[in-house]
Chain A
Amino acid sequence: MIDPLLQELRERFRETARVRLEEMRALVARLTLDRSDLGALERLATHFHGLTGMGGTYGFPRVSDLGAEAERSISPLMKRGRTPDEKTIERWDELIGEMASELD
């Protein structure tokens, strides 16, 4: 049985993460249209970082793992100011989908 406080935290995270994932999908769509959209890339990186850090804390360790995978590919691009390739963007979209499934 889950502690009521942890359950409350999980429910809250579900709500906030779903909103965040919707925005992330929109950012991926922007990057699909224009891979040089650094604003979208930076915002997406911030979202992945936030989910990596807090997924496990709120009882969703798999969300942290999936976010960490995305960070491993997005962080080097950010540091070097490079644009992602199509395959990488597709993988981020898949990871967002897997995160959403974890929240169901």
Chain B
Amino acid sequence: MKVLVVDDEEDVRFVAEVSLGRVGGMTVVVASGGVEGLQLARSEHPDFILLDMMMPGMDGLTTFHALKADPQTADIPVIFLTAKGLAPDTEHLGAKAVILKPFDPMTLASDIRKILES
């Protein structure tokens, strides 16, 4: 399973690589912003995208709408990553789910697998 993690925080990208890659056995591709995330979504065709809401430049919501507007990436499930109190209405948006920060690095991969199977 391949995941694209899009987050401007280096600490988040690192822990996601450890949690999803080393612990969860997934192939992890990372992007530090929305523009790079869109490019990698098109070129890497991940099985799902973990997308930070609050980023400088192209934020998570704008990135999400761009992903859904592009036929190459529209079908890729998106899970938002955001701080408590900033969670969007995912059902309304069409996103798969929201994972709140801080999260447990040891269970992130299994939590995501459950979300994707649901």
User: What residues make up the interface of A, taking CB atoms closer than 8 Å to B?
Assistant: 3, 5-6, 9, 12-13, 16, 46, 49-50, 52-58, 61, 64, 68
Contacts and interface: CB of A to CB of B under 8 A. Distances in A.
Interface of B: 9-12, 14-15, 18, 22-23, 54, 56, 83-84, 101-106
A68 B102 CA distance: 11
Given A3-B106, A50-B11, A56-B102, 16 more contacts: A5-B22, A6-B105, A9-B15, A9-B18, A46-B56, A49-B83, A52-B83, A53-B9, A54-B12, A54-B101, A54-B102, A55-B102, A56-B101, A57-B105, A58-B105, A64-B102
Given A5-B23, A53-B83, A61 B102 contact: yes
Contacts of A50: 9, 11
Contact of A16 (B10, B102, B103, B105): B10
B18 A5 contact: yes
Given A49-B83, A50-B11, A54-B15, A9 B105 contact: yes
**9 closest residue pairs by CB, A with B:** A56-B102, A53-B101, A57-B102, A54-B11, A50-B9, A53-B83, A64-B102, A57-B103, A57-B15
- Counting chain B CB atoms within 10 Å of each CB, which of A9, A12, A46, A68 scores highest? A9
